[in-house]
Structures are given as structure tokens and as C-alpha cells.
Amino acid sequence: MKKGVSLPRWVTDYLGMAIVLAILLAIFGYSARNFFSLPTFKMIASQVPDITILAVGMTLVLIIGGIDLSVGSVMALCGAMLGKSLITWGVPLPLAIGICMLTGLLCGAVNGLVTITWKLPAFIVTLGMLEIARGATFFVTGYRTVDTATSLDFITETTIAGVPMPFVIAILIVALGQLVLSRSVFGRYMVAIGTNEEAVRLSGIDMRPIKVTVFALCGFLAGVAAVIQTARISSANPNVGVGWELQAIAAVVIGGTSLMGGRGSVIGSFFGVLIIAVLSTGLDQIGAEEYIKRIITGAAIVAAVILDYYRNRLSAAK
Amino acid sequence: MNKKITAIILALCLSACATGLIGCKRVVDSGKPRVALVMKSLANEFFKTMEDGAKGHHKANSAEYELVTVGIRDELDVAQQIKLVESMIAQQVNAIVIAPADSIALIPVCKKAIQAGITVVNIDNKFDDEILASRDVKIPFVGPDNRKGATLAGDYLAKKLTKGDKVAIIEGAPNAFNAIQRKLGFEDAMKRAGMNIVSSQTAYWETDRANKVASAMIVAEPQLKAILCANDSMVIGALAAVKAAGKTGDILTVGFDNIAAVQRALKEGRILCTVDQHADKLAVFGIEYALEMLSKGGTPKDRETAVDLITAEKLK
């Protein structure tokens, strides 16, 4: 162990991603018009909260060695319940938001319970939920977009010390998620389950409630994301969130969480979301052709993961 | 214990599936001509409206014909739609009214249908003329001129702008014929009026993607005066982006399709205009045309249906 490279762990953990982010900002700052401006950062801040919140849930599920492919559809279903109860069924706002989040919680709990009860792979169970939740969304909305008018504007328009509320909520959820993961017994158990489930079982810990809780939490967070997403586009769209599970997984993996479980960081996932958001915003601002956007986004995901590999070797060598 | 629960749940699932299947209507041979409506994604509001219109028409004219409607799960699932047409050929329907998921890939199977003696009518997304000619197939297209529709909206917008103003276009799926036509229509109108198109990007017909693309356009081009969207789902996203940027009223928005969710915004003038191509009638026009061909025969010709500009004044 050389004295010169012994940086604090949180620096080495996030340094790689911070560098990627800085490089992206530099590239777009140079090539895109008005990229380095307050409106750009305001815009990114208004667009990342929903996917950030999904990514937090996904991080937790991946850490216990699971996966949740249903988050995009569940978010759409929660949004549909919110829009429908608010506009069509005339439910008061706080109750409608409650229904929305409860829907997410239920979907997540079902995912967890089915996975645990029959010892099934989460991959296939949540793939089933992806279909079921999308079908339910179509049923609830009758395939039609629900115009939520101005009823949710307060969410996007409220600012806390100049920062839009959705962004504050997302940051709070990231912080909470990281605290639970690294500073609580529950979090320790999660990592243990993801590292070696059998060992946890043999040491006499009933891990089933923990697993169900994590899946339920992931569903609940999809409900929270739905409120913010619906508010952002002032409507509940039945086709929203298609493919978001993969976006969330990409962000989480860029952030250094292992797909195999047992290792991960919520803050890392937030960095992952930011990298993808900056990349896509920059490409949109340049007005790049669709095929270029796709190729660059794909390459960036792979590059970020390769970088993470070297960071791991670096910290393992210490 | 667990086994019992499993068994009960499985039994419930199976019986639910069985009830569902029985609930589906069987097509009974009644001597009436059978028309198959082969749609794109029924999860899309636009096609749903089209299907509902067709079902309504069938209900009112159930003495005239039998109607079978089928759709694909994903708008781009070409292989699935080819299979659907093949199964309609196998079922020996009399006519197929099709909204093709791809304007080239569906031509061979439709040719097969014609050779099997089935009348084929093309709606919504027009088959590629050149390929039709090279394959020596004649399939009449019944539907609106999307380019003309988009031009109507563009011309109306141009009246509210001054020459040289910066505008942006949000396109539909880049491989869809109607998306390309709408883009061309917007461009026709904007160029004729001397507007400056600073950006044109796709958002794949989706609200959320349009929201992100529009936000980026607004930041990159602070002088932007208007955003023209190739459908209404995208104009909803663009409108939210305009609002988030605090530019409501400074940036005009234009949509296409006239779906229910944009009515309020149109009436309040937050969306300048949209174009109605009468989605509820599109399939009906195709079915009527197919029935006409079945009873009268004759050489198939294209038939253009109406497109109308919808503005706040028209909704009052």
C-alpha cells in the first residue's frame, strides 16, 4: 500500500464516474449550443427524478441478487391509477397519490411474494409482472391518454431553495437508500443475501421478509416515480415507461452495482443516471441523427462499465 | 401446504384463461361476406379509435357483413402481422382491410391473399408504390393525404409567425410512411412561408421522449418560436417542455390526430392547432370500399379521405 494513492474510499468509488461526467460536460459544452447554461441544468434536474427513483429501487433489488423488469410497466400503471382517480373518478389529490403509490407497493409485494414462495427466478416473475401491469394500464385507461390538466402542477412548480421539488425528493431518496444500504442492519443483510444466500440461511436468518420488503420497496418507488413523471408531462400516458427497466438497469450497472448481487451503491446509480441524462440531453441539443444517438449511448454504457472494471482492480490492488 | 396453494392458483389461472377464451366470439359461417380488419398495435389510442369505429359500423350494418378484427402487439412487429394475414387467408375471409406495419414487408403476403381470391384494401399506412408496381400487385389505398394534412397545420401556423422565425419539428417513427409524409408537409409549409427550421428530430410518437427532445431544442435555441409535432401524443410532451421552460405563449405548438387528451389545451389555445384525419372513420372507409369491390368488382383505385384543420375557433 503506497501512501500516495490512498485516497478516501468514497473518492475512488465515484472518481471514475465523476471523470466520465466531466468529460461529457466538456464535450457538449464545446459542441452544443447553450449547453453550459442554467436552463440546461434546470432541464436535466427536471427530467432525472423519475428515472433516478426507479434506479434506486433497481439498485436495492440487484444487490440482493434479484432483478425487477417490471418497473417501467408498474410506473405506467401507477400513473394511470393516479390520472384516472384524479380526473375520471374525482378522488381528492392526496388520496389519488396514495392510491398511485399503493398500486406500486402491491405490484412489488406480489413480485417478491411469488419469487419467494415458489423459489422462482425474479427475472421471469417480474417479466410476467411487466406484461400484467402493462395490460392493467391499458385496461384502466382504455388505451387513452388521460389529460391531468393543471392538477399536478404544484409538484413541478414548487421549489425548495430554488431547486424543483421532484429533484429534492429524488436526492432525498438516493440519500436514504444509501444510508439504509451502508449504515443499517437491514442493508447489511441485503448485501449478505446477494453475496451468499445459502450462508445467510444457514446462519439462521429468515431472509424471506427482507427479500419481499426489497421488492415491495422497488414497486413503491415506481409509484413515487409515477407521480413525478405524470406531473412532468401533465398527462398519464398508457405507453409511458416502455424500456425504462433497461434504462434503470443500465444506469445502475454504470454506477458500479453488480448484476450478480452483493455489491452496489445507490449514489453510484445516481451518477449512472446523470451520465445517461447528460449524454442524451447533449445529443438532443446537438440535434444528432437517431442512429448516432443510439450508437453513442450504447458505446458509452459499455465504456463506463469497462472503466469500472479498472477502478475495481485499482481498489482491489490497494 | 404449498403444493395445495400452487394447485389452487394454477386451477384459478387456467379457468380464468378458459373463460377468457370462451368469451371470444367464434366466427360463424353465415353466408355474409367476411371482412378481416388487420390493424397495427391496438395498444395505440389512434388504432383503438379506428377499431372502435369499425366495430360501431359493423354493429349498425351487421346484416351486410361479418367483421374480424386482429391487431399486433407492437407497432413494429412486422413478422406477427404477416402471420395474421396468413391466418386470415387460411380462414378464407372474403376481404382483408389492412393497416400495414411496414409499407414494403407486407406486400408479398397481401399478394398471396389476392391470388387466393381475397379482396385487399390498404388503409392508414400506404404501401410503397414502386414495390407494388415491381411485384405487379394492385392494392387500392383508402385514406387521407398526411402530407396535405401537415401542410394545412403548417400554413395555419405560418400566419401566426413572421418570416425568418425559428421553428423545430418533432418527427414520428422515422421508418413510418405517414411520419415521413407529415414531416414533409410541415417542411413544405415552413419553407414556403420562409421560416427557418433549426432542428428536426424523432421522438418515436412518444410523449415522454418528445418532452425530452423538445426541452433540449428549447434550450439550444432560445429564439425558437414554434414546435411542430407529427402526432398529438408528442405535442403533449412538447407543451409540457414549453411550460417547464417558462415559455408558454412564446413558443407555439402544433399537433396531429386530434385525440381526446388535447381537446382542453386546444380550446385554451395552448396548442395552436391539430389535424383530424377522422380516425374513427378510417377503417370504416376501408371496409365500405372492400364491400363495394366485393359486390361490384371493378378495377381498384385509390380513394382520398378528408383531413381537417382543428383550431380553438372550430371547437367553440
For residue B316, being part of any structural domain is answered with no
B197 touches chain A (CB under 8 A): no
Report how far apart the first and last C-alpha atoms of chain A are (Å, whole number). Answer: 5
Q: What is the CATH number of the domain that holds B151?
A: 3.40.50.2300
User: Tens of pLDDT along B215-264?
Assistant: 999 999 999 999 999 999 999 999 999 999 999 999 999 999 999 999 99
Structurally, chain B folds into a number of domains equal to: 2
ipTM over 0.90: no
Does one domain contain both B46 and B93?
yes
Q: What percentage of chain B carries pLDDT values higher than 70?
A: 90
pLDDT tens, B192-206?
999 999 999 999 999
Same domain for B157 and B78: no
> From B240, which residue of chain A is nearest by alpha-carbon distance?
A233
Q: What pLDDT, on the 0 to 100 scale, is given for residue B17?
A: 59
Q: What is the mean pLDDT of the segment spanning A293-313?
A: 84
Residue ranges per structural domain of chain A: 46-242
Q: What residues in B contact A142, CB-CB < 8 Å?
A: 48
Question: Do B272 and B285 have their domain in common?
Answer: no
Q: Is A85 in CB contact (< 8 Å) with chain B?
A: no
Interchain CB contact of A309 with B (< 8 Å): no
Tell me what pLDDT residue A1 has: 41
First to last CA, chain B: 64
Taking contacts as CB-CB distances below 8 angstroms, the residues of chain B near A35 are: 219-220
Residue A91 has pLDDT above 90, yes or no: yes
Q: State the DSSP code for B119.
A: E
Instruction: Tell me the sheet residues that pair with B304.
Output: B143
Q: Are residues B272 and B150 in the same domain?
A: yes
Residue B16 falls inside a structural domain: no
What is the 3-class SS of chain A, one letter each residue?
CCHHHCCCHHHHHHHHHHHHHHHHHHHHHHHCCCCCCHHHHHHHHHHCHHHHHHHHHHHHHHHCCCCCCCHHHHHHHHHHHHHHHHHHCCCCHHHHHHHHHHHHHHHHHHHHHHHHHCCCCHHHHHHHHHHHHHHHHHHHHCCCCEECCCCCHHHHHCEECCEEHHHHHHHHHHHHHHHHHHHCHHHHHHHHHHHCHHHHHHCCCCCHHHHHHHHHHHHHHHHHHHHHHHHHCCEECCCCCCCHHHHHHHHHHHCCCCCCCCCCCHHHHHHHHHHHHHHHHHHHHHCCCHHHHHHHHHHHHHHHHHHHHHHHHHHHHC
* Residue A285 at interface with chain B, using a CB cutoff of 8 Å: yes
Average pLDDT, integer, range A69-82:
97
Q: Which residue(s) pair with B275 in the sheet?
A: B309
Residues B269, B154 share a domain: yes
Classify residue A287 as left (phi > 0), alpha (psi -120 to 50) or beta: left
Q: Which of A142-151, A181-190, B70-79 has the lowest mean pLDDT?
A: B70-79
Return the pLDDT at A112: 97
Say what the pLDDT of residue B22 is.
55
A165 touches chain B (CB under 8 A): no
**Residue B311 falls inside a structural domain:** no
Residue B262 sits in the same domain as residue B284: no
- Say yes or no for a CB contact (<8 Å) between A233 and B237: yes
d(CA A49, CA A40): 15
For residues A222-246, average pLDDT = 94
Q: Is residue B203 part of a domain?
A: yes
Q: Is the pLDDT of residue A282 over 70?
A: yes
Domain assignment present for residue B58? The answer is yes
Mean pLDDT of the residues in chain B = 89
Residues of A in contact with B279 (CB under 8 A): none
B151-185: pLDDT as tens digits: 999 999 999 999 999 999 999 988 788 899 999 99
Check: CB of residue A226 under 8 Å from CB of residue A104. Answer: yes
B271 and B286 in a common domain: no
Coarse DSSP helix, strand, coil percentages of chain B, rounded to the nearest 5 percent: 50, 20, 30
Q: Do B221 and B288 sit in the same domain of this protein?
A: no
- Residue B121, domain extent: 29-139+280-305
**Is any Cβ of chain A less than 8 angstroms from the Cβ of B196?**
no
**Mutation target vs A (from B208, B224, B227, B236; most A CBs, 10 A cutoff):** B208
Residue B200 in any domain: the answer is yes
* CA atoms in the 13 A half-sphere facing the CB of B117: 7
Q: Do A234 and B243 touch (CB under 8 A)?
A: yes
- Which helix (DSSP H) or strand (DSSP E) does residue B226 occupy? strand B224-229
Chain B hits for A146, CB-CB cut-off 8 Å, are: 261
Q: Which residue of B has its CA nearest to A237?
A: B207
Which of the four pLDDT bands, split at 50, 70 and 90, describes residue B148? very high
Residues B181 and B106 in one domain: no
Local confidence band at A3 (pLDDT 50, 70, 90 cut-offs): very low
Answer whether B212 sits within 8 Å of A237, measured CB to CB. Answer: no
User: Has residue B37 been placed in a domain?
Assistant: yes
Q: What would the pLDDT profile of B13-50 be if each residue is shown by its tens digit?
A: 666 656 655 555 454 556 789 999 999 887 788 888 89
Please provide the average confidence, as pLDDT, over all residues in chain A.
91
